[in-house]
Amino acid sequence: MTAIFVLWIPSTAKFADTLLNSLERHYPPLSVERTETAGAIVVLGGHDAFDRLYQGIRLYRAKKSPLIIISGRGGVISDKKLMMQLLNELDVPESSLILESSSRNTRENGLNTATILKKMDLSRVILVTSAFHMKRALAVFVSVGIEAIPAPTTSEQKLRSSELPLLDWLLSSRALEKSTFAIKEYIGLIAYRQLGWIE
């Protein structure tokens, strides 16, 4: 019975919305027009990689920075040929792109990006990642000496599509997926603090 309860609660839209909101509320969506300019746009690979890449392209085309650094692996970002085809179709020249594909986690995203920026004498970037991941990513970038302007992708929460409160407590595989993202992110925050990688 306990196991069923433990699985059921994270599988509800009510729980998933609440947990994700606790992470995302610190970094609400910001329009491209209101985003400040910087030396580079850093797009992190991972979950929702296509959304992150698209956000980076939007910022580039709005002339918020002349350079896009793509750091890490995940989705379309891992397929260089597909990514370059997409960028070319959206008028982003290869000369405006730096691909850093060795990072395996957020910590390495920060360290490897810092190395790239140091060589280019840059220290200020626009950081693009999922809203629920922004808190940890931003803390990592600050810890390695990078001034980062958060530019989160669209919020992951808002799963509920009904005005009937009872439906918020029904089982949903999508809700469980979202709860899993949030739980993993909280574990990541705790682990990074324990390791001294972030404050």
pTM of the model: 0.87
Q: What is the residue type of 193?
A: R
Q: Which residue has the tokens 């609440």?
A: 18
Sheet with 40-44, side-by-side order of all strands: 97-100, 68-71, 40-44, 124-128, 147-150
pLDDT tens-place values along the chain, 199 residues long: 555 556 667 778 888 888 888 999 889 888 899 999 999 999 998 878 888 888 999 999 999 999 999 998 655 565 666 777 777 777 888 889 998 988 999 999 999 999 999 999 999 999 999 999 999 999 999 999 999 999 999 765 554 445 545 556 666 778 888 889 899 999 999 999 999 999 8
Neighbours of 86 (CB within 10 A): 16
Neighbours of 20 (CB within 10 A): 24
Neighbours of 106 (CB within 10 A): 25
Q: Where are the beta strands (DSSP E) in 24-80?
A: 40-44, 68-71
All structural domains of the chain? 2-24+160-194 (no CATH), 32-150 (3.40.50.620)
Q: How many residues does the chain have?
A: 199
Neighbours of 66 (CB within 10 A): 12
C-alpha separations of 142 from 27, 68, 111, 122 in Å? 16, 19, 11, 14
Task: Give residues with Cβ within 8 angstroms of 73, minimum separation 6.
Answer: 45, 46, 101, 103, 104
Q: What is the residue type of 71?
A: S
